[in-house]
Amino acid sequence: MTDWAGRTAAEIAAAAREKRATPREVVAAHLVRIERLDGRVGAFRAVRAEAALAEAEEVGARGDLGELPLAGVPVAVKDNLAVRGESTRNGSAATSDTPAADDHVTVARLRAAGAVVVGLTTVPELCVFGTSEGVHGTARNPWHPARSAGGSSGGSAAAVAAGMVPIALGNDGMGSLRIPAANCGLVTIKPGHGVVPAGIGDGDWFGMSENGPLATTVEDARLMLAVLADDLADGEPPRRAEPGTLRVAVSLRSPLAGVTVSRPYADAVREAAGVLMKAGHQVRRADPPYPASLGLTALTHWTAGVSVDARELDRRLLARRTRVHAALGRPFVHTVATGEGQDRLRGRLEPFFAEHDVLLTPALARRSPEAGPWHERGWLRNTLANSAYSPFTPPWNLTGWPAMTVPVGTLPSGAPCAVQLVGRPGSEAALLELAERIEALRPWRRTAPLD
């Protein structure tokens, strides 16, 4: 029997459509892998073994099986998005354990495309921080289990990197897709505002949060994004078009003053720049004009978004770091809601993106913090640790522009390293094409060596 665990989503879907594999046997193989490995990784808050097998049988019996873009593909869902029949705990003891009556629209689109939800993944409380741990478990980096998988889509990233699912659904409000993807050697894209339905928490953190894919290949990321965006033609993603010669700006400057970039991440940027230059693109050093106030702008929006999400919850049941974060944001909710801070940042950065098509930066400044009980530690310690290792992601949530993470190089530990690609609104296809060129010329190992 073929072991389908570890295959790409595109490979699995093709096999199911062509009846070389049944959705049930594919899902069963992944459930076996989850049972064997997740005790070491902590990717899942809940595994839907019986329900997933039953739903796989239903997919296999569909009359349109041969047309489904994700036929029989197991998928993990971040635990802040509703899955019908399951509770949405959002990493917290303060949330309800009542099962959801309906799927979130993104989950519904995945299921309509033939995917099977095998479980809900570990997140930090209210998806606030860049490490994923709390009362429901700790998500570890499968490549280096002593380190955090990152956050807040850490469980989803860990599940994919461990080969427990080929793709997973996450979201990104300050880097929550790109950070764990960078840690775990995955491809992800935070789409621009309005490309994929959001509906995350109470107001999408003032429009900063976007849903997106986590995958081991650019092909899978492109396919899943097309499903999430409802942008399929005859069951296929839009036809790819070469973006032509692009003007790529390369920057190692941290958007947050005082944060330095470690050598592996700087080397990864230089390596990616060389690949894109060889591919015929115009590549040059250029730093975006980040305002000195960017750190404060990011902090006020981040805390205000959490304050809104926490306002209906029993604060006595929240972890101390979450309570402090929400309390700090309460005075800023009205000001942030005007959108003026985001508008000012867009206005400052638009001329740079008129001169350059794409920005290439490190995905992170350094490796992730150790895996541990960060939810029991103070707010300041958490905030400083997050800011020190992931300063490059927040600006693009504030602007609402697309940004993605691509694996490039390795850390001294052997864990993956990564770069970030950023584009102007509507440039998702161009970013994916650049990522695919990097993948072709600098291929990466797709899953962690846990066996």
Other CB atoms within 10 A of residue 131 CB? 32
Q: How confident is the prediction for the chain on average, in pLDDT? A: 97
In terms of Cα–Cα distance, which of 15, 176, 123, 355 is closest to 2? 15
- From the candidates 156, 176, 307, 390, which is the catalytic residue? 176
**238 has pLDDT over 80:** no
**356 has pLDDT over 70:** yes
Q: Is 314 exposed, middle or buried (0-12, 13-18, 19+ CB in 10 A)?
A: exposed
- From the candidates 92, 132, 148, 152, which is the catalytic residue? 152
pLDDT in tens, 327-348: 999 999 999 999 999 999 999 9
CA dist 289 and 348 (Å) reads 7
Establish whether 19 is a catalytic residue: no
Which pair of structure tokens corresponds to residue 214?
Answer: 């986590």
- Fold annotation for 9-228: Amidase signature (AS) enzymes (3.90.1300)
Establish whether 176 is a catalytic residue: yes
Contacts of 362 (CB under 8 A, 6+ apart): 252, 261, 265, 266, 268, 269, 392, 418, 419, 420
Sequence-ordered strand ranges (E) for 181-276: 187-190, 210-215, 247-250
Q: Give the pLDDT mean for 307-326.
A: 98
Evaluate if pTM is beyond 0.85. yes
Q: Give the pLDDT mean for 416-434.
A: 98
Q: Which residue has the tokens 């799927």?
A: 103
Write down the pLDDT at residue 309: 97
pLDDT in tens, 122-168: 999 999 999 999 999 999 999 999 999 999 999 999 999 999 999 99
Which pair of structure tokens corresponds to residue 198?
Answer: 């959001």
Across 268-305, b (16+ Cβ under 10 Å) vs e yields: bbebbbebbeebebebeebebebeeebbebbbbbbbbb
Q: Give the pLDDT mean for 225-253.
A: 86
User: What are the structural domain ranges in the chain?
Assistant: 9-228, 248-441
13 neighbors 72 (Cβ within 8 angstroms): yes
Sequence-ordered strand ranges (E) for 122-222: 133-134, 137-138, 140-141, 144-148, 167-172, 187-190, 210-215
249 neighbors 288 (Cβ within 8 angstroms): yes
Indicate if the alpha-carbon torsion angle 194, 196, 202, 204 is positive or negative.
negative
Tell me the percentage of the chain whose pLDDT exceeds 90.
96
Which pair of structure tokens corresponds to residue 156?
Answer: 């989803």
Tell me the percentage of the chain whose pLDDT exceeds 70.
98
Main-chain phi, psi angles of 349, to 5 degrees: -95, -20
Name the strand (E) or helix (H) holding 420.
strand 416-423
Q: Give the pLDDT mean for 182-199.
A: 98
CA dihedral 448, 143, 364, 155 (to 10 degrees): 80
Q: Which residues face 422 on adjacent strands?
A: 359, 403
**241 has pLDDT over 70:** no
Query: Which class is domain 248-441?
Result: alpha beta
Give the DSSP letter string of 79-142.
TTS--BTS---TT-SSS--PPBSS--HHHHHHHHTT-EEEEEE---GGG-SSS-EETTEE-EET
CA dist 52 and 134 (Å) reads 25
Write down the pLDDT at residue 1: 45
Main-chain phi, psi angles of 146, to 5 degrees: -75, -10
How many residues in the chain?
Answer: 451
**245 has pLDDT over 80:** yes
pLDDT in tens, 268-292: 999 999 999 999 999 999 999 999 9
pLDDT in tens, 8-42: 999 999 999 999 999 999 999 999 999 999 999 99
CA dist 218 and 55 (Å) reads 27
CA dist 172 and 179 (Å) reads 9
At position 337, the amino acid (one-letter code) is: A
Write down the pLDDT at residue 451: 80
Contacts of 19 (CB under 8 A, 6+ apart): none
Q: Give the pLDDT mean for 107-120.
A: 98
User: Which pairs with CB-CB distance under 8 Å and at least 24 residues apart come from 380-383?
Assistant: 382/129, 382/131, 382/321, 383/325
Establish whether 152 is a catalytic residue: yes
Which pair of structure tokens corresponds to residue 132?
Answer: 């994923």
User: Which pairs with CB-CB distance under 8 Å and at least 24 residues apart come from 63-69?
Assistant: 65/16, 65/17, 65/114, 66/17, 66/18, 67/17, 67/235, 68/13, 68/16, 68/17, 68/113, 68/114, 68/235, 69/13, 69/113, 69/114, 69/223, 69/226, 69/227, 69/232, 69/235, 69/236, 69/237
